[in-house]
Amino acid sequence: MARQMIETPSNSMKIFSGTSHPSLGREICEYLNVTPGEILVRKFSDGESYCQINDNIRGADVFLLQPTCPPVNHNLMELLIMLDAAKRSSASRITAVLPYYGYARQDRKDKPRVPISAKLVADLLTSAGAHRVLTMDLHSPAIQGFFDVPVDHLFAAPVLVEHIQRLKIADLVVVSPDAGGVERARAFGKRLGAGLAIMDKRRPEPNVSEILHVIGDVRGRNVLIVDDIIDTGGTLASTARTLVENGARKVYACFTHAILSGPARERLENAPLESIWVTNTIPLNDAWKNNRRITVLSVAALLGEAIARIHNNSSVSSLFD
């Protein structure tokens, strides 16, 4: 019997996007000059998620893009199903690409009888089939240790800093909204040649913050508030008001992940802010797209370069800076 010649995608790179952020997936594929993988993802009438990979991925290097942003539980479940489908389709390696890692703020046991949900999500991802994880600006870098598979942790700082440098803002002071963000603010300040200030913040309950005072001199200076996540906007609004009360001239802010949920719109409209710069790790809600204060910067090239280097088994370290 003559041997049958069968084409195989062995060692080829396949990129698939879930429904949480397909536009970012398309941008990444354009950067890499590859065709997006064909995948059917939908919901049944009872809300159950379903997916079918329409490409042959046996032996392929598969990347599944899905930020677990709101609706978090739905997007997380969808990613788990995609991982399982890729595993059962005999992909040689599966990388879960989470530009935004949901549940990252639940990273420790700070009260009795509470879960460490960030660790639970890590276990779910690896159990579903992820061989490695590519993510960006984790709320706590220690979350990398929750995984028993390699984690490539990128930072959006190069994209944000490059944009801010072009604006040439004089007399700039970088502000950390709390003590936990000092390292991030110091890194921004070093790259921008700016000073550093820290807000003394208390958080009596989730999504509620109280600013007590400013550590550092902001009088007569332009200030840049730097953080990884903006959610309900409470911390940003109270920080901006406190800085103005302490003599700051103009207040700017930049964030990697723009969740912007709940009362964020009202709070930001009433806050003394000049501009807010965010990245597209999370798709901006339609209600925010025409907001004059918010500028969205793309991290597609950064993620695309990381994907290319992972696929080629070359170093990703330089992208961490």
Residues annotated as catalytic are 201
Radius of gyration of the chain (CA): 21
What is the spatial distance between Cα 318 and Cα 207, in angstroms, rounded to a whole number? 34
Closest CA to 85 of 121, 50, 59: 50
Is the distance from CB of 285 to CB of 260 less than 8 angstroms? yes
Residue with tokens 């698939």: 16
Q: How far is CA 15 from the centre of its chain?
A: 18
What is the spatial distance between Cα 296 and Cα 254, in angstroms, rounded to a whole number? 10
Tell me the DSSP string of 219-230: TT-EEEEEEEEE
Tell me the DSSP string of 45-80: TTS-EEEEE-S--TT-EEEEE----SSHHHHHHHHH
Alpha carbons within 13 A on the beta-carbon side of 165? 12
Q: Would you tell me the crossing angle of helices 72-88 and 117-128 to the nearest 10 degrees?
A: 30
Alpha carbons within 13 A on the beta-carbon side of 308? 14
